[in-house]
Amino acid sequence: MTAAGNSALFPTYARYPITLVKGEGSRVWDDTGKEYIDLMSGIAVTNLGHAPQAVKEKLVEQLDQLWHVSNLFHIPNQEKLAQLLTENSCADKVFFCSTGAEANEAAIKLARRYAQKVLQNGKYEIITFNMSFHGRTLATLTATGQDKVKEGFLPLPEGFVYAPYNDIEAVRGLVSDKTCAIMIEMVQGEGGVLPADPAFIKQLAELCEERGLLLIADEIQTGVGRTGKLFAYEHYGIEPDIFTLAKGLGAGFPIGAMLGKGKLAEAFNAGSHGSTFGGTPIATAAGIASIETILENKLPERAAELGTYTVNKLQERLQANPLISKIRGLGLLIGIECTQPAGEIISEIHKRGVLVIPAGANVIRLVPSLTIPQEDLDRGIDVICEVLAEKAAAAVQ
């Protein structure tokens, strides 16, 4: 491990004092040989666990053939992955990129361009939500409803307004003659693992229909089986005009995607948007293997079952713990809300061989792989409950 003060890296991350060097399934090992149960999956990235065999085989096969070509040429893997995604979603078209921020940036650009080039109404404003998180590019951090990510980056791009989450009347009040779209996470991950109210999402979709607005679902963290459906919008009985994917799409290999309804295709033409590394033969090979594995093994259903099991188990064991105020989530995206900052609790859980992460200041976030063995999940729950029990006991002494 390199001390932060001596590192040649920019200090853009508050790193935990752990150096991970190996991963297999739901377990990882550090440079001292210590083993951890991984309940964070690289923040919802390693959906299939570490080094999944099906993805590894596809990657090795592709590595022997072709690594990169420009998007100026046809890429068969892109076409196949796009077909897999559109056949299993409400979307008709796909744009590939490398990260979630890039996918959301593409969604913002598509919404504005559809309004200005196709509808020719000059609209550009997008309503997003307080405590949302949409990325760290200049446009996506502006879309984000948290001031802390914007500090020092002024002036920010124009065209974003922020509404309280789950408050349809507030959203109605913000729609103006400038509004072209509403962008929302079905579960606010970074904002504290807050699922949207089903009635609110229905009303939001109806509002978009009434006012001719595009509905954009940010599924960077919730997509690809994480919440118990292949895509989280499916829980709500609505179809977004645009939705975005990244984290779990490549099972650990970087790839992002923006998906949209066919009517939006007219807004983009050759040269209006692009991504040098978007949808390379290797990245899309990983995406194909990932989606096929998830569908063939019914992993969204497994995520739903394990998510319900985990929430019930935590509620049963933590209901009397004074440090816990709420336990919530959707599928295997679970938050344990504490009555105090969660940093020290998380560090102690790490020391005992289980990896979890915060969501905001006082929520412990669990995002294990969709393939985690039951015994590993149970061991992780045991450690979390043991630490919280000890912290609660210490607090009253």
Quick: pLDDT tens for 188-239. 999 999 999 999 999 999 999 999 999 999 999 999 999 999 999 999 999 9
3 has pLDDT over 70 = no
Beta bridge partners of 125: 179
Q: Is 343 annotated as a binding residue?
A: no
Could you give the residue ranges of the DSSP H alpha helices within 266-322?
281-296, 299-318
Q: Is 219 annotated as a binding residue?
A: yes
Read off the DSSP letter of residue 33.
-
pLDDT at 6: 80
Q: Is 136 annotated as a binding residue?
A: yes
pLDDT at 4: 58
163 pLDDT band, cuts 50/70/90, is very high
Q: Is 112 annotated as a binding residue?
A: no
Burial 208-218 (b: 16+ CB within 10 A, else e): beeeebbbbbb
Q: Is 106 annotated as a binding residue?
A: no
- Give the mean pLDDT of 45-59: 98
Give the Cα separation of 181 and 174 in Å (integer): 11
Q: Are 96 and 78 in contact (CB under 8 A)?
A: yes
390 has pLDDT over 70 = yes
Percent composition of the chain: helix, strand, coil (DSSP 3-state, to 5): 40, 20, 40
Q: Is 222 annotated as a binding residue?
A: no
Beta bridge partners of 29: 22, 35
396 pLDDT band, cuts 50/70/90, is confident
Burial class (CB in 10 A: 0-12, 13-18, 19+), 256: buried
Q: Is 372 annotated as a binding residue?
A: no
**Mean model confidence pLDDT for the chain:** 97
Assessment of whether the complete model's pTM goes beyond 0.85: yes
Q: Is 310 annotated as a binding residue?
A: no
Q: Is 277 annotated as a binding residue?
A: no
Q: Is 200 annotated as a binding residue?
A: no
- Give the mean pLDDT of 335-364: 97
